[in-house]
Chains A and B, each alone.
Chain A
Amino acid sequence: MENQVDPQYSDIIDEVLNKFKPFNKNLLISILQEIQYTIGYLPKAVLEELSDKTNIPLSQIYGVATFYHQFRLNLKGKHLITICLGTACHVQGSNNLLNYIQDVLQLNDNLDTTEDRFFTLNQVRCLGTCGLAPIIKIDNDFYGNVSPTDLKKIFEKYRSIDV
């Protein structure tokens, strides 16, 4: 039962496949991207159903989904915090920021989503705004030259908007 696809997901897959007509295996990455935009991540059951519907072997879909950094196989919290660990940010102390975030949100390298599923922390290497390092992005908003004190305020802002 556990692997049964939520009917809502099934509709989403159909909808996405509809967008990419005529279907072609080359479109796999774009299809996965589109599904992830809608659901927030790529649940296992969705990949299985996608494999059934497209005749692309699950191993191949899984191979692609795990190769690229953009794809998430685990549930995402309400807001996605992206921390840059690129060179410029590293030189400007992004590791301290990472430690700080993991500390206050009680996360670690194996746990990226807060217990209340409010924040998910995503680590990337270069967001392309190195001149304002260190950089944090929350959902689609960028924050440059951030310090732990700034972060505290920023997190509070997101929490307060949401209550």
Chain B
Amino acid sequence: MLENCCSKCHHSISNPCKDWVICKTEGPLCHTDISCKNKIVNSLNQIMNENTNLVIKIGMSTCGLAAGAGDTFNEFQKLLKERNIQAEIIKVGCMGHCYAEPIVEIIEPNGSCVIYNNVKNTDVESTLNSYFDKKTEGVLAIRYKKGTLSDEAKIPLFQNLLFNKKQKRIILNNCGIINPEKIEEYIVFGGYRALSKVLTKLSPQEVIDQIKSSKLRGRGGAGFPTGQKWQICYDVKNDQKYFICNADEGDPGAFMNRLLAEGDPHRVLEGLIIAAYAIGASKGYIFVRAEKTLMANHLKLAVNQTKQIGLLGNNILNSDFNLDVEVVLSAGAFVCGEETALLAALEGKRAMPRPRPPYPATQGLFGKPTTINNVETLAHVSTIILKNELFTSVGTEKSKGTKVFCLAGKVKRTGAAEVPFGTTLKELIFDIGGGIVNDGKFKAVQTGGPSGGCLSDKFLDLPLDYEKLAEAGFIMGSGGVIVLDEDSCVVDTAKYFLNFTTKESCGKCTPCRIGLKRLQEILEKISKGQGNMADLDDMNNLGKLIINTSLCALGQGAPNPILTTIKYFSEEYKEHIEKRRCPSHVCANLVDYRINPDECINCGNCTKNCPVGAINILSLTGSKQYSIELEKCIRCGYCFNNCPMNAIFKV
């Protein structure tokens, strides 16, 4: 598809044609030749697999691979060969349904598409049997009602799955459907048309105006209006400007950037090229975590493919616009995501943030004007250029469009869901996520990562919108949503985040480096049952001080998990402090272990494992019974973890 149809087509890297993208799907445009038309139609059919008997798509993003999709892939190859079945197996990205991975979709050219969930390698045979027998075993959903399965009425349509129903998939639309390693597929699905329109019809200022009118806000955390950001950099006059895509996703619990870049890398790249054109940058960087190998590889491949066909390089689509893009691997440190720290990292230094102003827009990479945007922000750009109404038709007044949230923790259906802003936490966790695992009780939800907060059930009706969250004292962050149930302790959760930020603090400014350490010590004391109520005030005061005086948003956000838990879960802190008890049995020093004599089989495992000899046999009324001496017990939990009968319990 990428090659020229005949000698009349002159497109090449050195002599590019402005209509190349459109021509590839609707052409030929510059001449009428039936054989060229046929060539193009044929290549489209080939890409859409119209000529194939059977197509098997397997979700092979990192999440799919973690669930075992690699083995599933091998097993399919083996079985298809054994049975002599002609089929094409395609590795696709992730549709966001982590809970159902590995996901396999079997497609026939007549349009029947059956989606199977949790297909481990050991399930491949039964999946194939189920498919060929037209059974419904293992089927998660179907894409169309075609009557291909014998009991089809029982099976939901994919878009009606509870996980999907409240979603509005715009930027995730291609993920799990197209082959991310093929630029052709992205183009067939409408890709690079926005770039084509921008380079042939719009001036940089017109692009910026369009982004402004969409009210797109940065999805990387702060929610800064993207159009305004581009305008500031556009207005700075300089021969050399840089554009950076921040793909250093390090917020634990958020993985939408990885999912997007793995499943649809060209969408991100197209956004980047348009952004660079708008601000006037001739060099772009994609800064991506080295550990996220697949994400980095897909982005690199995408960059190389666009270079080869002239969508990157000099005189792109004959527009006089030149852009080179480089994928740079981040060596990993949470603070690298902060924009001035990111600049230092790209300059080969320790990633320490610096005070702003000067802002990167005036003095960024190597001292030149620079704009930095998040992966998800860039993914929205092509939609806004082509179909602004689609983007602006959803969302709230000030937060337009959709946002991908990542559901993790104690929620039934984990995964990534793209919903309009304004969706409530309740809809996200209960309708989409299906509620709490094992039908447990909801306790809290943590949003916004290490700078975010813990929300109690009274906030479940809060619409997700930058302003609404801020009013309640929370932040949107990058969109990680971690659900906690009754088995999680909020003091432990606050301690967890503080450990995180203390370790990730770059050490440059005192409030963050030392203040967080002091906060950590107080929390540690409380979780050991040595706290007192005055500690809560101390933490509140110290926390506010750190927020007000830290250099960058890492320190300015780090006390939030503590402040919000003290505010909304004060009872639980009280229990830890006054009653020296952890109601969720998580804080090791505040639980006691007991042995249930009815379950105990006198195997003696616990006595052997106890490092301090606190478990002894009592001879009560003739029968042997093990018991734990509370004074000696150091609460290490070895007996609890090693009891074969689960006869040891916590109180």
Chain B 79-104 interface mask (CB, 8 Å, partner A; 1/0): 00000000000000000001101000
Contacts of B29 in A (CB 8 A): none
Contacts of A26 in B (CB 8 A): 346-348, 366
User: Bound state CA distance, A86 and B347, in angstroms?
Assistant: 28
Contact call A88/B408, Cβ cutoff below 8 A: yes
Contact call B350/A87, Cβ cutoff below 8 A: no
User: Bound state CA distance, A126 and B239, in angstroms?
Assistant: 39
Q: Which residue of A lies closest to B492 (CB)?
A: A90
A145 interface contact, C-beta 8 A: yes
Contact call A69/B66, Cβ cutoff below 8 A: no
User: Bound state CA distance, A153 and B608, in angstroms?
Assistant: 25
B349 interface contact, C-beta 8 A: yes
User: Bound state CA distance, A16 and B514, in angstroms?
Assistant: 39
A30 to chain B, nearest CB (A): 7
A85 to chain B, nearest CB (A): 8
Given A91-B409, A131-B98, A131-B408, A67 contacting B66 (CB threshold 8 A): no
Contacts of B428 in A (CB 8 A): none
A133 interface contact, C-beta 8 A: yes
Quick one: which of A117-139 are within 8 Å of B by CB? Answer: 124-133, 135
Q: Quick one: which of A27, A63, A130 has the most chain B CB within 10 A?
A: A130
Contacts of A132 in B (CB 8 A): 63, 66-67, 98, 101, 414
Quick one: which of B270-310 are within 8 Å of A by CB? Answer: 289-293, 295
B115 interface contact, C-beta 8 A: no
Question: When the two chains form the complex, which single residue of B258, B410, B497 contacts A128, counting CB atoms closer than 8 Å?
Answer: B258
User: Bound state CA distance, A29 and B248, in angstroms?
Assistant: 15
Question: When the two chains form the complex, which single residue of B291, B331, B415 contacts A32, counting CB atoms closer than 8 Å?
Answer: B331
Contact call A69/B348, Cβ cutoff below 8 A: no
Contact call A131/B99, Cβ cutoff below 8 A: yes
Quick one: which of B333-361 are within 8 Å of A by CB? Answer: 333-334, 345-351
Contacts of B291 in A (CB 8 A): 70, 82, 124, 127
Question: When the two chains form the complex, which single residue of B334, B493, B641 contacts A125, counting CB atoms closer than 8 Å?
Answer: B334
A144 to chain B, nearest CB (A): 4
User: Bound state CA distance, A143 and B347, in angstroms?
Assistant: 35
B323 interface contact, C-beta 8 A: no
Contacts of A9 in B (CB 8 A): none
Question: When the two chains form the complex, which single residue of A64, A86, A88 contacts B348, counting CB atoms closer than 8 Å?
Answer: A64
The contact size tier of chain B is 35 or more
B155 to chain A, nearest CB (A): 23
User: Bound state CA distance, A132 and B63, in angstroms?
Assistant: 7
A158 interface contact, C-beta 8 A: no
User: Bound state CA distance, A25 and B346, in angstroms?
Assistant: 11
B189 interface contact, C-beta 8 A: no
Q: Which residue of B lies closest to A37 (CB)?
A: B290
Contacts of B290 in A (CB 8 A): 33, 70
Q: Which residue of A lies closest to B255 (CB)?
A: A128
Contact call B329/A30, Cβ cutoff below 8 A: yes
Contact call A86/B252, Cβ cutoff below 8 A: yes
Q: Which residue of B lies closest to A24 (CB)?
A: B348
Contacts of B449 in A (CB 8 A): 87
User: Bound state CA distance, A33 and B66, in angstroms?
Assistant: 25
Stretch in contact with the other chain, from B1-9, B467-475, B480-488: B480-488
A28 interface contact, C-beta 8 A: yes
B288 to chain A, nearest CB (A): 11
Question: When the two chains form the complex, which single residue of A27, A69, A71, A130 contacts B480, counting CB atoms closer than 8 Å?
Answer: A130
Selected A-B contacts with CB under 8 Å, 17 pairs: A26-B346, A28-B348, A30-B329, A33-B329, A64-B349, A67-B350, A67-B506, A70-B332, A82-B291, A91-B408, A91-B493, A92-B409, A126-B251, A128-B292, A129-B63, A129-B255, A131-B407
Q: Which residues of A contact B (CB under 8 A)?
A: 25-30, 32-33, 63-64, 67-71, 82, 86-92, 96, 99, 124-133, 135, 140-145
- Would you list the 6 A-B pairs with minimal beta carbon distance, nearest first? A131-B98, A86-B252, A68-B331, A144-B66, A126-B252, A142-B66
